[in-house]
């Protein structure tokens, strides 16, 4: 079979060597590299700390039936899919921080919670959103095992879940926002140094727009209308 590929595409012929250019031109000239910074210059610098959005799970993203853990019980709260899509289109990383004391109470297992979370993450993707990571607290004051009872540092209103994610993902907490349906969510967010917003259950996408306008106004792209 004759090679009909043009010269300009020759350097792409090896799938595992896409960075290998077959011609001798440099990637950029010195003159080009010394001109005023362009937006692309920022892309090759080491990633700076950025703000993120921390979301409570039950009764913020999904409807809470009380110790919700069955995939069949999954249902979005009003506006949640659009909120996740909005954050993603603006390049804002979304994390879930959730108390799952039902594990400590042995109402459900960590594996059941994981299956529910996997389903939520998949549904978020179908809605155009993206959940970067999920942190949960399995402890509960009435846990079956004393070892699963607080104090633990991670059960909201403690800030441990947010602090752990911030360390793991290099998040600027002072530029971040916590959204939840309970005072304990807001307290955890504030204790971590974040802004905090109560979701009243009516429309999470409306709240997402407010948060983006107030705290992520310089974020890229997206339809902010
Ligand atoms: Mg909640
Ligand atoms: Zn805990």
Helices 183-191 + 160-169 axis angle, to 10: 50
Instruction: Tell me, in angstroms, the distance from the centre of ligand 1 to residue 64's CA.
Output: 7
Residue 158: nearest ligand to its CA? 2
Domain that includes residue 102, residue range: 53-215
Q: Do the beta carbons of residue 148 and residue 140 sit within 8 Å?
A: yes
Instruction: Tell me, in angstroms, the distance from the centre of ligand 1 to residue 19's CA.
Output: 47
Instruction: Tell me, in angstroms, the distance from the centre of ligand 2 to residue 18's CA.
Output: 46
Query: According to the model, what pLDDT value does residue 94 have?
Result: 98
HSE at residue 160, side-chain half, CA atoms within 13 A, is 13
22: in domain: no
Q: How far apart are CA 44 and CA 130, in angstroms?
A: 23
Instruction: Tell me, in angstroms, the distance from the centre of ligand 2 to residue 162's CA.
Output: 12
117: in domain: yes
Query: According to the model, what pLDDT value does residue 147 have?
Result: 97
Query: According to the model, what pLDDT value does residue 220 have?
Result: 74
Our CA angle for 91, 34, 219, nearest 5°, is 15
**CATH code for position 59:** 3.40.50.1000
Query: According to the model, what pLDDT value does residue 203 have?
Result: 98
Percent helix, strand and coil across the chain, each to the nearest 5: 40, 15, 50
160: in domain: yes
Q: How far apart are CA 199 and CA 79, in angstroms?
A: 11
192: in domain: yes
HSE at residue 115, side-chain half, CA atoms within 13 A, is 10
Look at the chain and count its residues: 225
Instruction: Tell me, in angstroms, the distance from the centre of ligand 1 to residue 50's CA.
Output: 25
Instruction: Tell me, in angstroms, the distance from the centre of ligand 2 to residue 81's CA.
Output: 28
Instruction: Tell me, in angstroms, the distance from the centre of ligand 1 to residue 182's CA.
Output: 6
37: in domain: no
Residue 64: nearest ligand to its CA? 1
Instruction: Tell me, in angstroms, the distance from the centre of ligand 1 to residue 65's CA.
Output: 11
Q: What is the pTM of this model?
A: 0.78
202: in domain: yes
16: in domain: no
Per-residue pLDDT of the chain (225 residues; tens, 9 = 90+): 444 444 433 333 344 433 344 444 444 444 444 444 555 555 566 667 899 999 999 999 999 999 999 999 999 999 999 999 999 999 999 999 999 999 999 999 999 999 999 999 999 999 999 999 999 999 999 999 999 999 999 999 999 999 999 999 999 999 999 999 999 999 999 999 999 999 999 999 999 999 999 999 988 755 443
19: in domain: no
The residues whose Cβ lies within 5 A of ligand 1, an ion, are 56, 58-59, 181
Q: How many domains does the chain have?
A: 1
């Amino acid at each position: 079979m004759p090679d009909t590929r043009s010269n300009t595409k020759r350097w792409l012929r090896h799938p595992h060597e896409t960075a290998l250019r077959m011609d001798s031109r440099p990637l950029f000239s010195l003159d080009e590299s010394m001109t005023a910074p362009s937006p692309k210059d920022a892309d090759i610098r080491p990633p700076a700390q950025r703000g993120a959005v921390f979301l409570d799970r039950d009764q913020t993203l999904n409807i809470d039936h009380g110790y919700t853990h069955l995939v069949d019980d999954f249902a979005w709260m009003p506006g949640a899919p659009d909120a996740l899509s909005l954050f993603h289109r603006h390049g804002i990383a979304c994390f879930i921080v959730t108390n799952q004391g039902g594990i400590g109470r042995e109402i459900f297992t960590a594996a059941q919670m994981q299956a529910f979370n996997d389903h939520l993450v998949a549904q978020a993707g179908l809605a155009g959103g993206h959940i970067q990571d999920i942190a949960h607290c399995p402890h509960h004051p009435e846990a079956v095992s004393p070892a699963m009872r607080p104090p633990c540092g991670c059960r909201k209103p403690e800030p441990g879940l947010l602090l752990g994610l911030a360390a793991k993902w290099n998040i600027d907490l002072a530029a971040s926002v916590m959204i939840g349906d309970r005072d304990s969510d807001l307290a955890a967010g504030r204790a971590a140094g974040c802004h905090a917003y109560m979701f009243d259950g009516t429309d999470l996408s409306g709240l997402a727009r407010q948060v983006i306008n107030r705290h992520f106004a310089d974020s890229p792209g997206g339809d902010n209308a």
